[in-house]
Structure 1
Amino acid sequence: MTNLASNLVATAQAHPDQVAIKLDDAELTWQQLHGMAARAAGAMRAAGLEPGDRVALILPNIPAFPVLFYGALLAGGTVVPMNPLLKAQEIEYFFTDSGAKFAFAWGDFLGEAQGGAEGTSTKVIASGPVGPSEEDLPAGEPLAAPVERDDEDTAVILYTSGTTGRPKGAELTHRNLHLNAQRSAHDIIGITSDDVVMGCLPLFHVFGLTCGLNAATLTGATLTLVPRFEPGKALEVIERDQVTIFEGVPTMYGAMLHHPAVDATDISSLRTCVSGGSSLPEQTLTEFEAKFKVRLLEGYGLSETSPVASFNMLDKPSKPGTIGRAIPGCEMKLVDDNGDEVGPGEGVGEIAIRGDNIMKGYWNKPEETAAAIRDGWFYSGDIASVDDEGYYTIVDRKKDMIIRGGMNIYPREVEEVLYTHPDVLECAVVGVPHPELGEDVGAAVSLREGASGDVDEIRAYVKDRIAAYKYPRLVWVLDEIPKGPTGKILKREVQAPSA
């Protein structure tokens, strides 16, 4: 295997007439998907794409995503999946940092993409439901066979933020993604060509990309897409398409479980469900399994680990509240602040991961790569304990990341915007509990002398400048942000006001 797109070629040959991608009434067979991707690859090459060039995708869950994803890979390109909700100034950084040659954007997001491309060398191309028109990307000779790539060549750059600095691009290789899709499909979920996989998870996110699109492509299963999750719609699609595998984040399971239509919906086709992105409440897991009569498997991973690192797997009993055991091809251990390994029952430590799922590194960031990967182990920043059967339980996060409905939000990025507001002197962005989303974004601010302190205006200011899921829903004013003796802001001292 030298190119991840080889899986598409093989499946199109093995299951040519089987439905590959479904979006309501629209369907593409594996043969049609391969043909469209081959034409897209030829057009990209005719437009000047060379092997290794970056291609950004700013697309929702529509058939154009797999067409252009595999099209770029067939041509030897490196794909940069991007959240369509990003604003122009965020997009500009992604374009500049990745050096993307082309960016394909769905119409609703075209304006922001074009705004982000100003001053960069990235060419933005409008995409329809299954790809660009010939007016926007002239046809070339179709590339049905993939351009040969090395296992260690970068297939995808996924941007992930840290608690300091700007977003970093995790370089995932063809081998990383192929093997992680294989482990997910065969060892964890048990996907076959007879399955229908629900594509609620965004394909620009590593969970949806690997466990949804790449795993379905590897096995020949059908992927039925939902561009935007809504519990009633999800239940409708499960019944309509006889979905057998559902992949989601915890908030999706809670929303479906408590939806008024759940008792009137035929969900008997469901066999296995998997959850990741954030911790799954034990009550949600047990209630969902009882109601839907399925196994709901919880796991753990990061963009840097392709993403799956551990899971409660089908071959052994699940342990609710845990993230399961290390998957095949992957090792995990816990390390304390002194670098010593923490064994079962010995307390907590930082999760370190080693295996064929570990990224190549952060794109053009050797120092950050060296800090994250030491002696072959990737240090996750997550704190956990482990039992004597190898099941891990996350107890805290070393990083300040907020997980809002399964979406990762990094406080520093929000704070950077807040600090550009003329009234804000200091700020601290923290997670605040939310009954449905798990966490929401809160911001404590202290104001410059003479400032009006209109928190609604501050909230609106941030909302206009970053993706909608990131802005702080709750903003409150403090006379002074809590600090330690060195002047460092102490986020653990920042508490949201009670309602």
Structure 2
Amino acid sequence: MNDNAGGRGSGKIWLRHYPKEVPETLRYPDGNAAQFLTDAAGKFPGGEAMEFLGRSYSYAELAKRAARLANALRGLGIEKGDRVAILLPNCPQAVVAYYGILMAGAVAVQTNPLYRERELRHQLADSGAKAVIALDLLVPRVEAVRGETAIRHLIVTSLSDGLPFPKNRLYPLKRRREHPGLKIGYGANGTVRWSALLRRAPDTPLCEPADAGTDLALIQYTGGTTGVAKGVMLTHANIIANTMQTTAWFYSTKEGQERYLAALPLFHVFGLTVLMNQSVYLGSSLLLIPRFEPKAVLETIRRKRPTVFPGAPTMYIALLNHPDAREGDLRSIRVCVSGAAPLPREVQDRFEQLSGGRLNEGYGLTEASPVTHCNPLWGFRKPGTIGIPLPDTDARIVGEDLFVELPPGEIGEVAVRGPQVMKGYWGRPEETDKVLQDGWLRTGDIGWMDEDGFFTIIDRKKDVILAGGFNVYPREVEEVLFEHPAIREAAVVGVPDDYRGETVKAFIVLREGWQVSEMQLNRWCRDRLAPFKVPHRYEFREALPTSLIGKVVRRELRESGPQATGDGADDRAENSKKD
């Protein structure tokens, strides 16, 4: 353990639980975050930077491609501070696009490729993006909203641009067969082919100098679950700091030797930091998964032997429940960090038994680049908590007054401060002032800190259910439901109730081959929860709606009507396995 009396004197009681290998503070370089790539290419030019469906790219090749894109963007008139949107799934072009944009001195705007026209219109218009790099299949959506944006250049790539031979020749045939109406007007209205643009551009090294603390690297939009999505302004300093903080936490990782399983989307800030940026910072390999499918992921694990696997609880649950899991040999995986949603203890235990690695829960939010807390990966930890703050990160539990810290054990809002905290919301100074004061960020999450400095998140402030005057925290109810042997997944929301104002409703996904009745679940919960916390309604489903990073979308559950699963809740019998 670190024995820094000055650190402990600062009130950071969690420091006594830091592993001795993790420093309390780090030194962060000034400059452009794309320097991660130029440094890695200098140290490991022949090392594998990324692998995609059988095609491997060296660091020298990745750096040259990013330099070509940076020079090409400059040739198109993109200047320092201009915004360039990325509309791509996990593929080599997404990595090249991100670093190329930063090298050019522009600001990346990561956009979800699943967005429809309404969502896309808002983000492209709000950011003022002058160019967008998009997958060919998504071009119709961009064209549908382009007239309402500042987009001048549309750079179009195809999955075939990242595939090995002969897949790169076969894919266009498959695309034409499945999307016969797709026509792209290359050469008109600023629309250009990715491959042609990079072929014409020089690979002369380019890395625009940046004032790390001021210049933006990224505008990352929040989910917008409580209104219009806001653009989070992350500086080069924010990105550099969180990459180095999380790498310091993964202290057993070694330069040039790790293999990162990239099942999380890179366009989400969790995947961007703990996968793309961290793997490049270490000069390690990024194993790109275009879409999370358990069977394909298990095959990648068997074939490429990844060592680091950041993910979401739903990913670990899906792998654990896949029939090939035990034959898939997960023993290469040493480090897993779960984020985006609460990690059930049972899932943690089962995955660690299967892989032999460590799966720990962490915590973060887009406004903090995103990671602020994590359980120590080796040594003392507290399952069920989000762990302790990362190096150079401060955290406290507060009430209405942001500057009055509540004592250990008392419930309030989590506030954080550190070099990874955003500059503010793009174009929304009033919204910024509501959550950011004197470097402290109100997270909107409700939780508490124990006497050791470990934090527990109870729920989102907006998700707390007010039932008959009592606060009900969905996570507490979900943990009880997860302990039931028949339940695979569970989500709890508040729904309108004439008598209680709100009441508790549980959405249940059962394990294959299991049945359970509402009466049995009610009895299970009443034995473990105060009466006002027990769900009054249950709905059985085949699956829960989730975002691409595996977070259950509670808003969709609250707004949805009942869905039949084919069995019928009333017909569910005994809590026992089928023969």
**Alignment TM-score, normalising by the size of structure 1:** 0.80
- C-alpha displacement of 1:434: 4.4
- Kindly indicate whether residue 113 of structure 2 is the aligned counterpart of residue 51 of structure 1: no
CA contact under 8 A between 2:259 and 2:285: conserved in structure 1? yes
**SS across alignment from 1:262:** coil
| Aligned equivalent of 2:560, options 475, 491, 495 | 475
Aligned to 1:80: 109
- Provide the aligned length of Structure 1 versus Structure 2: 426
Q: Deviations over 1:223-279 (max 9, x none)?
A: 101111111111111110011111100011111112100111222211111100010
Please, which runs of 5 or more residues in structure 2 have no aligned partner? 1-29, 163-192, 465-473, 476-492, 494-501, 512-551, 563-567, 571-579
Structure showing greater radius of gyration is: 2
Aligned to 2:423: 360
Write the distance in 2 (CA, Å) between the matches of 1:352 and 1:40: 39
- Kindly indicate whether residue 191 of structure 2 is the aligned counterpart of residue 128 of structure 1: no
**SS across alignment from 2:326:** helix
| Aligned equivalent of 1:89, options 118, 122, 125 | 118
- Kindly indicate whether residue 368 of structure 2 is the aligned counterpart of residue 305 of structure 1: yes
Write the distance in 2 (CA, Å) between the matches of 1:308 and 1:121: 32
| Aligned equivalent of 2:507, options 412, 433, 445 | 433
- C-alpha displacement of 1:108: 2.0
- C-alpha displacement of 1:432: 5.7
- Kindly indicate whether residue 301 of structure 2 is the aligned counterpart of residue 216 of structure 1: no
Please, which runs of 5 or more residues in structure 1 have no aligned partner? 404-410, 412-427, 438-468, 478-496
Aligned to 1:149: 210
Aligned to 1:181: 243
Letter in 2 for 1:358: V
Write the distance in 2 (CA, Å) between the matches of 1:436 and 1:10: 49
1:6-17 matches, within 5 Å, as 6-17=35-46
- Kindly indicate whether residue 57 of structure 2 is the aligned counterpart of residue 28 of structure 1: yes
- Kindly indicate whether residue 405 of structure 2 is the aligned counterpart of residue 341 of structure 1: yes
Aligned to 1:198: 261
Letter in 2 for 1:124: L
1:231-380 matches, within 5 Å, as 231-339=294-402, 340-345=404-409, 347-380=410-443
- C-alpha displacement of 1:399: 2.4
- C-alpha displacement of 1:316: 3.2
Indicate the RMSD between aligned Cα atoms, in angstroms: 2.7
Moved more, 184-193 or 17-26: 184-193
Q: Quote the sequence identity (%).
A: 38
CA contact under 8 A between 1:9 and 1:145: conserved in structure 2? no
Letter in 1 for 2:337: V
Q: Deviations over 1:93-132 (max 9, x none)?
A: 1111000011111122221122121222213221134584
Write the distance in 2 (CA, Å) between the matches of 1:290 and 1:476: 38
Letter in 1 for 2:50: I
Letter in 1 for 2:82: D
Moved more, 109-118 or 34-43: 109-118
Structure with the larger strand share: 1
Moved more, 391-400 or 14-23: 391-400
Letter in 2 for 1:83: N
**SS across alignment from 2:234:** strand
Q: Deviations over 1:428-477 (max 9, x none)?
A: 9x99634389xxxxxxxxxxxxxxxxxxxxxxxxxxxxxxx979477339
**Alignment TM-score, normalising by the size of structure 2:** 0.69
Cα pair distance change 1:163/1:201, threshold 3 Å: closer
**SS across alignment from 1:118:** helix
- Kindly indicate whether residue 305 of structure 2 is the aligned counterpart of residue 225 of structure 1: no
Write the distance in 1 (CA, Å) between the matches of 2:329 and 2:352: 15
Write the distance in 2 (CA, Å) between the matches of 1:33 and 1:381: 39
Write the distance in 2 (CA, Å) between the matches of 1:49 and 1:434: 50
Write the distance in 1 (CA, Å) between the matches of 2:355 and 2:431: 44
Write the distance in 2 (CA, Å) between the matches of 1:251 and 1:328: 28
Moved more, 182-191 or 305-314: 182-191
Write the distance in 1 (CA, Å) between the matches of 2:391 and 2:235: 18
Q: Deviations over 1:370-411 (max 9, x none)?
A: 1110222000000011111111111121024999xxxxxxx9
CA contact under 8 A between 1:41 and 1:143: conserved in structure 2? no
